[in-house]
Amino acid sequence: MSLVEVQNVTKVYKRDTMEIPVLQNISLSVPEGEFLALMGPSGSGKTTLLNLISGIDQPTSGSIVVQGTDISKLNEGALAKWRSHHIGFVFQFYNLLPVMTAYENVELPLLLTNLSKKQKKERVEMVLKVVGLEDRMDHYPRQLSGGQQQRVAIARAIVTDPTLIIGDEPTGDLDRKSAEEILILLGRLNSEFKKTIVMVTHDPHAAESAHKIQHLDKGELRAN
Partner 1 sequence: MKVLKLIYKNLFRHKLRSFLTILGIAVAVFMFGFVSTVVTAWSYGVDAASADRLITRHAVSFIFPLPYSYRDQIAGIPGVSKVSYATWFQGIYKDQSFENFFPRLACDPETIFDVYPEFILPPDQLAAFKKQRNGCVIGQKLVTQHGFKIGDIIPVKGDIYPGDWEFVVVGIYKGRDQTIDETQMFFNWEYLNERNRQAASFATDNVGWYIVQIANPNEAANVSETVDALYSNSAAKTKTETEKAFQQSFVSLSGAIITSLEVVSYVIIGIILMVLANTIIMSARERVREYAVLRTLGFTSWHVVGLIAGESIFTSMIGGVLGILVTFPIANGFGAAFPTMFPVFAVAPMTVAVAFSFSILVGVVAAIFPSIRSANMKIVDGLRQIG
Least distance (Å) from partner 1 to the CB of residue 109?
Answer: 5
Q: Tell me the pairing of strands 18-31 and 35-39.
A: unpaired
- Residue closer to partner 1 by CB (options 163, 209) is 163
Comparing CB distances to partner 1, the nearer of 11 and 209 is 11
Smallest separation, CB 164 to partner 1 (Å): 13
Nearer to partner 1, 13 or 193 (CB): 13
Q: Sort strands 196-200 and 35-39 into parallel, antiparallel or unpaired.
A: parallel
CB of residue 99 vs partner 1: minimum separation in angstroms? Answer: 4
Indicate the residue among 57 and 220 with the shorter CB distance to partner 1. Answer: 57
Length in residues, the chain: 224
* 222 and 46 Cβ atoms separated by less than 8 Å: no
Rounded to the nearest whole angstrom, what is the least distance from the CB of residue 98 to partner 1 in the complex? 8
CA dist 80 and 65 (Å) reads 16
Shortest reach from residue 122's CB to partner 1, in Å: 19
Residue 165 or residue 209: which is nearer to partner 1 going by CB?
A: 165
Counting other chains too, the contacts that 172-180 makes at CB distance below 8 Å and 24 or more residues apart are 172/92, 172/201, 172/202, 172/203, 173/92, 173/93, 173/94, 173/146, 174/146, 174/147, 174/150, 175/146, 175/147, 177/147, 178/145, 178/146, 178/147, 178/150, 179/147, 179/203, 179/205, 179/206
> Would you tell me which residues interact with partner 1 (CB under 8 A)?
51, 54, 56-57, 76-77, 80-81, 83-85, 87, 89, 91, 95, 97-100, 104, 108-109, 111-112, 156
